[in-house]
Amino acid sequence: MKPYSLKVKLLAPVILMAFVSIAYFGYISLSYAGDRLREGAASKLTALANFHKMEIERYFHKIEHSVSTLASSVTSIQAMHDFEEAVYFVDSSLAMAMEILKSRDSNVDAVTDARGLYIQARNKYHTFFASFMTENRLGDMMLIEPESGYIIYSANKVPEFGQYVIHGPLRKTGIGLSVYRALADQKALYPPTEFSSYQYRKGTRSSFLTRPIVDGGDVAGVMTVRISMEQVKALLEKRLGMDGSFIIWLASKDGSKIAASGPWREELPAIEPGREGVFGGLDGAGGVQYLRAQTPLDIDGMDYTLIVDTPLDLALAPLGSLKLSILFFVLLSLVVLGGAHLMLGASVIGPLKILGEAMKQTARSGRSPEKALPENSSDEIGSLYHLFNDLGRKLEQMELEGGSKNRSLNLYTDSLSEKIERLEEELDSTTAALEQSHAASTKMENVIRRQEKSLETQRKKLNATRKYLEELDETRDRFLEIAGHELKEKASLLSRSVAAESDGSGNDNLLMILNETRALERLIDKALASFSLELHDRPLLADTFDMAELARDTTEGMTDLASRRNVKLVFKSGADSIPVQAEKESIRITMENLLENALKNTLSRGTVMVSVNETGSMARFEVCDTGKGIEKKLLGKIFNRYFRIESSSADDPGGMGLGLFICLMIIRRHDGKIGAESEQGKGSVFFFELPKQPIATQNVIPGLEI
């Protein structure tokens, strides 16, 4: 295959790039122009739809206002009275007509007189009513007698015209429904009826608007106007200066056509009720696509749809001239490229051929060219010629230096071969070391996998053991709780029996047994309380009470124990009333446990100070004793369950180690804070804090000091 020439290689990319650029420019231009044309057509459609929407709404609003004003005017009231005097003589089918005439004047030609009277009334008002109908572009205006629904006047009928709109064939038509609603509810201003066929105007849809004529609170008559769709069609034919390619039409809420601005076209796309906005690409009959603007139209509560259509090909017609302009531009570009081709051949390709021949000659001979190339120009071709000539001169110099350089090159090649051999040996040793390291790491990975499997087995065993211990711990707590309740029952029975025996007997042994039994009951209560608190099997029953008052009462209840221990008990309150929201009985138990703990651990002639204060948003209860104190290493364990500080002293109060644990659980359930501070040999301070809550004012008990 013959290779392409340099001219082809240079020009082909240029031509291809030019063609792609022109095609892309044409595509972008057409797309942009199409979008702008669509947007322009959509703007026109939207403007036209909004204009006709306002025109139709303004038209119906004007009619409603004008009819309501006319119906309440003196002229309409007087016209009803004048027409009613002759209305019964117009229709010969009324049986009472002649009787009424005879009762008036038997010497008068009743029918002739009645018709003359009716014509006189019509001539009196017809010009006014006809001008009103013309001014408001109405199809007809009628006056209707309210009791029988008889049409006594019609601007478009002969004087003998008369029909019943309530009881006759018009009862279920638009006019009948409109008059019936107006008479049924005179206060309501009903909107016009929906457009429907009117039997006296075949092929024309009409809507009726009715207002009662009221004279002194009584309905003197009914005024009804007929709005012809021909008038609405005339409104639709207003174009805002636009061409006739737009079709404007009005449809009912079910999508049926009511009126259009011109002859109806069956190829128009069907309506989709409920949609709003501008839609493109709607297919009509015959494959014609349309651009549509659709907007809802509310005529006094009646739902309609206003639609503006235009063929899409008419909206995009200016694209044809743009395509011709782009085609002309393409042809002009091809002519320019042809000229560039000729210029390139003369100024670039020819000199490059001369350079190519000189280079071939140099390649064949391996020596510099015998004749230098002419350096006549200062452009890129001249620079290439200069470089080629310079290359020839350097080639001659290299031929002279080539012998010595070849010898140096041979020596360098030998040295390089030796270095390569040494590097290959080092590479072999390094590869062997890496293989050994890989084997060791593989062995280590196997050991790690076995250890992981062993650890996973141990973890599963530990989880099973933990679950077993948790179940065992829960069973133990339940057992202890049941046993505690049994002990409580037996101890209570024993206490009541001893109390009954010792009542008034003065037997010290029985009193000692009674005291020990009651102490046993308190120990059992503490054990049961600890089980209940730990299991959280009872809801918290909180109420609002005065914490200062509860602390004062609890302190008073401990005076006997303080006296037996020969300890001074002092109570101080920083406020007369400190309201809190908590379970009162649980807080009382906490106070008693802290007080009892302080009294039992305070030596004879010592002091226990009880105080209650407000600290910001918290209420603080504090017990300070002058006992022997607690070692710092034990201070963090005193609230643990069953923890007791062992003592060899005969004064050791004993106990189960549950009191402080119960206090901790109660205060935690109340979202409070509990703690202790102590220094060995100087006494201890136990406290808890609860959130304050406001309560009503109550009686205040003064501070207590024992």
What b/e readout covers 601-630, taking b as 16+ CB neighbours within 10 angstroms? bbeeebbbbbbbbeeeebbbbbbbbbbbbb
Place of tokens 């702008």: 36
Strands (E) located in 96-217: 140-145, 150-154, 196-198, 201-215
Please state the separation of Cα 582 from the chain's center in Å: 41
Whether the model clears a pTM of 0.85, i.e. scores above it, the answer is: no
Q: Which tokens go with 687?
A: 């406290």
Q: What single string gives the DSSP state of each residue in 251-288?
A: EETTS-EEEESSS--TTSPPP-TT--EEEEEEE-GGG-
Q: Which range, of 392-401, 444-453, 457-466, averages the lowest pLDDT?
A: 392-401
Q: How many helices (H) and strands (E) does the chain have?
A: 16, 17
Q: Which of 69-78, 218-227, 320-329, 680-689 has the highest mean pLDDT?
A: 680-689
User: What is each CA distance from 563 to 560, 567, 705, in whole angstroms?
Assistant: 5, 6, 13
What band does 55 get if pLDDT is binned at 50, 70 and 90? confident
Q: Which residues are paired to 543 by β-bridges? A: 582
What confidence tens digit (pLDDT) does each residue in 83-127 have?
776 665 544 444 344 344 444 444 445 445 556 777 788 888 888
pLDDT for position 335: 74
Q: Rounded CA gap, 517 and 498, in Å?
A: 9
Comparing 539 with 531, the larger pLDDT belongs to 539
Q: Rounded CA gap, 576 and 613, in Å?
A: 10
What confidence tens digit (pLDDT) does each residue in 563-589 have?
989 999 999 998 889 999 999 989 999
- Nearest CA to 230 out of 271, 258, 208 is that of 258
Q: Which tokens go with 361?
A: 């000659």
What band does 528 get if pLDDT is binned at 50, 70 and 90? low
What band does 366 get if pLDDT is binned at 50, 70 and 90? low
Please state the separation of Cα 12 from the chain's center in Å: 57
Q: Rounded CA gap, 303 and 294, in Å?
A: 13
What b/e readout covers 185-197, taking b as 16+ CB neighbours within 10 angstroms? eeeeebbbbbbee
Q: Determine how many CB atoms are found less than 10 A away from the CB of residue 344.
A: 16
Q: Rounded CA gap, 358 and 370, in Å?
A: 10
What confidence tens digit (pLDDT) does each residue in 188-222 have?
777 888 877 766 655 577 888 888 988 888 888 88
Comparing 61 with 41, the larger pLDDT belongs to 61
Q: Are 146 and 220 in contact (CB under 8 A)?
A: yes
Q: Which residues are paired to 211 by β-bridges? A: 223
List, edge to edge, every strand of the sheet that includes 302-311: 257-260, 247-252, 302-311, 289-299, 277-283
What band does 696 get if pLDDT is binned at 50, 70 and 90? very low
Q: Are 552 and 521 in contact (CB under 8 A)?
A: no
Place of tokens 């008073």: 556
Q: Rounded CA gap, 469 and 471, in Å?
A: 5
pLDDT for position 296: 84
Indicate the SS3 state at residue 145.
strand
Please state the separation of Cα 423 from the chain's center in Å: 70
Place of tokens 């049994």: 486
What confidence tens digit (pLDDT) does each residue in 580-624 have?
999 998 999 999 999 999 999 899 999 999 999 999 889 999 999
Containing 515, the helix (H) or strand (E) segment is helix 508-535
What band does 41 get if pLDDT is binned at 50, 70 and 90? confident
Q: Determine how many CB atoms are found less than 10 A away from the CB of residue 417.
A: 9
Indicate the SS3 state at residue 652.
coil
Q: Rounded CA gap, 544 and 693, in Å?
A: 7
Place of tokens 């034990």: 634
Indicate the SS3 state at residue 617.
coil
- Nearest CA to 652 out of 628, 673, 674, 668 is that of 628
Q: Rounded CA gap, 19 and 40, in Å?
A: 31
What confidence tens digit (pLDDT) does each residue in 320-336 have?
666 677 777 777 777 77
Comparing 17 with 441, the larger pLDDT belongs to 441
User: What is each CA distance from 562 to 12, 291, 478, 624, 654, in whole angstroms?
Assistant: 116, 101, 36, 14, 17
Q: Rounded CA gap, 333 and 15, in Å?
A: 10
DSSP collapsed to 3 states, 546-590: EHHHHHHHHHHHCHHHHHHHCCEEEEEECCCCCEEEECHHHHHHH
Q: Rounded CA gap, 264 and 272, in Å?
A: 18
What is the rounded average pLDDT for all residues in the chain? 75
Q: Rounded CA gap, 233 and 249, in Å?
A: 8
Comparing 158 with 647, the larger pLDDT belongs to 647
Ranges of H-type helices in 72-152: 74-87, 97-104, 110-135
Q: Which of 251-265, 283-297, 525-539, 612-626 has the highest mean pLDDT?
A: 612-626
Strands (E) located in 320-452: none
Question: Residue type at 56?
Answer: I
